């Protein structure tokens, strides 16, 4: 049973445009959400996070939006750059828990 789902295995976006990656979750106990970025032959690296007490968190070109009623979060990258081409994982954890539950990942390709 996938508690965190990324329904788009891949996404292609033109350089300079906005990339929107989506993630849905089923566990209402999740209260902390993260996005990780992964390049080939490397481990995932932390990108941005959001607590359930917020609905938006911004860090430079990256913004994460959380819609608790819909159990949905999204990552916006604007403007998209070629170096953003990677696999993006959405992850979630319950309050006070160390365990992260990851989605299956979305491969983002930024086209020049």
Partner 1 sequence: DAGVIQSPRHEVTEMGQEVTLRCKPISGHNSLFWYRQTMMRGLELLIYFNNNVPIDDSGMPEDRFSAKMPNASFSTLKIQPSEPRDSAVYFCASSSVRGRFQETQYFGPGTRLLVL
To partner 1, the closest distance from the beta carbon of 69 in angstroms equals: 25
d(CA 95, CA 67): 17
| C-beta atoms surrounding 9 within 10 Å | 10
In the block, tokens 């965190």 appear at 4
Across the chain, where does the E strand assignment appear? 4-5, 10-14, 19-25, 30-38, 45-51, 56-59, 62-67, 72-77, 86-94, 101-102, 106-111
Select from 16-24, 59-67, 72-80, 97-105 the region that touches partner 1 (CB under 8 A). Answer: 97-105
To partner 1, the closest distance from the beta carbon of 19 in angstroms equals: 20
* 8-47 positions binding partner 1, by CB under 8 A: 36, 41-46
To partner 1, the closest distance from the beta carbon of 109 in angstroms equals: 17
To partner 1, the closest distance from the beta carbon of 6 in angstroms equals: 8
d(CA 104, CA 111): 23
Q: Site for partner 1 (CB under 8 A): which residue of 69, 83, 98, 112?
A: 98
* 55-94 positions binding partner 1, by CB under 8 A: 89, 91
Residues interacting with partner 1, by CB under 8 A? Answer: 6, 36, 41-46, 89, 91, 96, 98-105
């Amino acid at each position: 049973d996938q508690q965190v789902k990324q329904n788009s295995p891949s996404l292609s976006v033109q350089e300079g445009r906005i990339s929107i990656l989506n993630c849905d979750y089923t566990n209402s106990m999740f209260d902390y959400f993260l996005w990780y970025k992964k390049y080939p032959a490397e481990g995932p690296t932390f990108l941005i996070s959001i607590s359930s007490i917020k609905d938006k968190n911004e860090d430079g070109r990256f913004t994460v939006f959380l819609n608790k009623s819909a159990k949905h979060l999204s990552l916006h990258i604007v403007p998209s750059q070629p170096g953003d081409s990677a696999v993006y994982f959405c992850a979630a954890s319950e309050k006070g828990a160390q365990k992260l539950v990851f989605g299956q990942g979305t491969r983002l390709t930024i086209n020049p």
